[in-house]
Amino acid sequence: MPQSRTEETADEETYEPDPRRWRALTVTLVAGFMGLLDVSIVSVALPSMQHGLGTSPAQVQWVVSGYALAFGLALVPAGRLGDAFGRRRMFLIALAGFVLFSALAGAAPTPLLLVIARVAQGLAAGMLAPQNSGLIQDLFRGAERGRAFGFFGATVGISTAVGPVVGGFILALAGEGNGWRWIFYVNVPIGVVALVLAARLLPPMRRSTRPGHIDHVGVVLLGGAVLAVLLPLVEAESGGLARLWWLFVVGIVLGAAFVWWEGRETRRGRAPLVDLRLLSDTAGYASGAALGMVYFVGFSGIWLVFALFFQNGLGWTPLQSGLAVTPFAVGSAISAALAGRVVDRFGRRLTVAGLCGVAAGLAVTTVLLATVPSSVAGFVIIPSMLIGGIGGGLVISPNITMTLRCVPVRMAGSAGGALQTGQRIGAAVGTAALTGIFYAVLGPDPARLRVAVAAALGAAVVMVLAALGIAIAELRAGRRTADAAAVPPDAAHQHQ
């Protein structure tokens, strides 16, 4: 690995627990929660934006798509910059930008300025996200790191699930006319408080790499590849897949060029944007990243399908639609926090059990929505959604823990950014694919609503089962992921 045995031993020997580390983690997770929440919270406010600001369907779609696209593009470069220049510095810069652009989005007088503010807000959120995982690597060791990653994983999962609920509550309180502005304004006071506390609580981090070399060519190649893959997907609802399919070919070419270039940088002894030896030499990283990407295809896509079914199909309000999926969020919150405490003991078995729970919960929900009367649909799915949520908390949190905790501290930011980039790509694929299936089955006939939701959710179950296959394969192959969880993280590489 890029970090020598001597460097890692020295890092372990010089580590001293910061007495404020848990308070610092709380602040960083609140900031990370806001950034991830804004991926999904805006979707319930799109009709309000169209009415209040007079946006066209294409413009309002870019309010969502522009944020997601910028978020995904920023992750890996921002992680590398955090590794090189200090994660505290990058965290504070990114959080300040996120607060500023949230205020500008809320105050936007025209659709164009709103889209520009959202893209800038997405870049700031993408810069913020990988610093969280890097800060955990810096601040914690051993079993404490597992607990910290457990809370981080819970933040990732819950922020995605509760977006529609929070958005529905804000619109209910602020009104339909300009209620969408408070979707953005609410970030400002919370962000300012988090910024002040982070400046006080986050300790100056020792640089683990010299910042003299930044892999600019790698940034361009990876950014181009991610853009080429994401752009047709985020534009799917406006015909992006048909118009921009050729960008997938461009993405493959740029991705291959990126892999070649990163290998060349490594052979020359220079710091690459992403050290590809993470995939081969770090226990659990490659399989965990693959599992996360596949799982997010099914997990992230279901929320828009639920919103389409409940709001467009059954005529529910955004708040009612959000409350219908609340059991999943509640189950995730409880199990993710508990999973962080026992991941050392159970390892990958937690993920296998969680994926079984998600698959079972979604499968039962699919059958119920396809068969029960509309008047009771929101009530009868409470148990199955709760089971699915409990399972979901056992997937994201332990998988992030086992994927990142054996990563050398010096690569924590870029490794976390790469992991989350895969999750963002999976989320974009899932959202485009599942909504595409929903609309394709529904067609012009409203009577096919139940069949449409069953088809879309059924596809999500298939992707969850695919992720389960990856988890079982790793468990059976004995790739030491579970065993590595019981070894001091940075010391684990001494035995590779």
224 and 123 inside one domain: no
Q: Which residue has the higher pLDDT, 329 or 489?
A: 329
DSSP letters spanning 398-445: HHHHHHHTTS-GGGHHHHHHHHHHHHHHHHHHHHHHHHHHHHHHHTT-
**Distance between CA atoms of residues 400 and 407, nearest Å:** 11
Residue 80 has pLDDT above 50, yes or no: yes
3-state secondary structure (DSSP) of residue 140: coil
Q: What is the structure's pLDDT at 175?
A: 74
Residue at 8 is within a domain: no
If asked whether residues 365 and 227 sit together in one domain, one would say no
Would you give the DSSP letter of residue 487? S
Percent of the chain with pLDDT over 90: 17
The mean pLDDT of 332-360, rounded to a whole number, is 85
Tracing tokens 């990163």 back to the chain, one arrives at 262
Q: Is residue 425 part of a domain?
A: yes
Domain count, the chain: 2
Is residue 289 within a helix (H) or strand (E), and if so which, with residue range? helix 285-307
Distance CA 148, CA 137 (A): 9
Closest by alpha carbon to 39, among 167, 152, 148, 195? 167
Residue with tokens 């192959």: 477
Same domain, 471 and 427: yes
For the chain, give the number of residues: 496
List all residues 6 or more positions away from 166 whose beta carbon is below 8 Å from its beta carbon.
37, 41, 322
Residue 358 has pLDDT above 50, yes or no: yes
Q: What's the CATH number where 39 sits?
A: 1.20.1250.20
Amino acid at 304: L
Specify whether the backbone of 212 is left (phi greater than 0), alpha (psi in -120 to 50) or beta: alpha
Task: Determine the pLDDT at residue 236.
Answer: 65
Structural domain contains residue 375: yes
Alpha carbons 21 and 18: distance in angstroms, whole number? 5
Q: Is 5 inside a domain boundary?
A: no
Q: Render pLDDT for 145-204 as a digit per residue (tens, 0 to 9).
A: 777 877 887 787 777 667 777 887 888 887 767 778 888 998 999 999 999 999 988 887
Are residues 199 and 287 both part of a single domain?
A: yes
The phi, psi pair for 409, rounded to 5°, reads -55, -35
Q: Are residues 371 and 280 in the same domain?
A: yes
8 A C-beta contact, residue 351 and residue 398? yes
Q: What is the pLDDT of residue 304?
A: 80
The last residue of a domain, from among 206, 236, 270: 270
**Which residues, at least 6 apart from 107, have a Cβ–Cβ distance to it below 8 Å?**
181
Reading the block at residue 443, the tokens are 């067609």
Percentage with pLDDT > 70 across the chain: 85
* Nearest to 286, CA basis, from 473, 87, 82, 154: 473
Neighbours of 164 (CB within 10 A): 28
Minimum mean pLDDT among 116-125, 152-161, 182-191, 462-471: which range?
A: 152-161
Q: Is the pLDDT of residue 212 over 70?
A: no
User: How many Å is the Cα radius of gyration of the chain?
Assistant: 22
Band of pLDDT at residue 240, cut at 50, 70 and 90 = low
Per-residue pLDDT tens for 297-311? 888 778 888 888 888
Q: Residues with Cβ < 8 Å from 462, sequence gap 6 or more?
A: 298
DSSP-assigned letter for residue 89: H
Residue 172 located in a structural domain: yes
Same domain, 168 and 220: no
Q: Which of 247, 270, 293 delimits the end of a domain?
A: 270
Q: Are 104 and 179 in a shared domain? A: yes
Indicate whether 129 and 238 sit together in one domain.
no
Q: From 270, 294, 309, give the residue that closes a domain.
A: 270
C-alpha span between 311 and 362 (Å, rounded): 19
Interaxial angle between packed helices 285-307 and 382-404, expressed in degrees from 0 to 180 and rounded to the nearest 10 = 150
- The most confident of the ranges 60-69, 90-99, 265-274 is 90-99
Give yes or no: residues 104 and 230 share one domain: no
> Could you tell me if residue 12 is inside a domain?
no
> What is d(CA 191, CA 95) in angstroms, rounded to the nearest whole number?
7
Query: What's residue 469's pLDDT?
Result: 93
Tell whether 384 and 292 lie within a shared domain: yes
State the average pLDDT over residues 389-415. 79
Task: Let me know: does 130 contact 414? Beta carbons within 8 Å.
Answer: yes
| CA distance linking residue 46 with residue 410, whole number of Å | 41
Give the residue-averaged pLDDT of 205-215. Answer: 55
User: Do 291 and 396 share a structural domain?
Assistant: yes
Residue in 198, 145, 191, 163 with CA at minimum distance from that of residue 28: 198
**Confidence at residue 57, expressed as pLDDT on a 0 to 100 scale:** 65
Are 55 and 105 spatial neighbours (Cβ–Cβ below 8 Å)?
no
Unique residue bearing structure tokens 């960083």: 28
pLDDT band at 205 (very low <50, low <70, confident <90, very high): low
**pLDDT (0 to 100) of residue 238:** 65
Residue 302 lies in a domain: yes
Average pLDDT over residues 346-375: 91
Classify residue 220: in a domain, yes or no: yes
Domain containing 329: what range?
19-215+271-495
In terms of domains, do 120 and 210 share one? Answer: yes
Within 13 A of 120's CA, how many CA atoms are on the CB side? 19
Question: Can you tell me the distance from the alpha carbon of 155 to that of 137, in angstroms, rounded to the nearest whole number?
Answer: 17
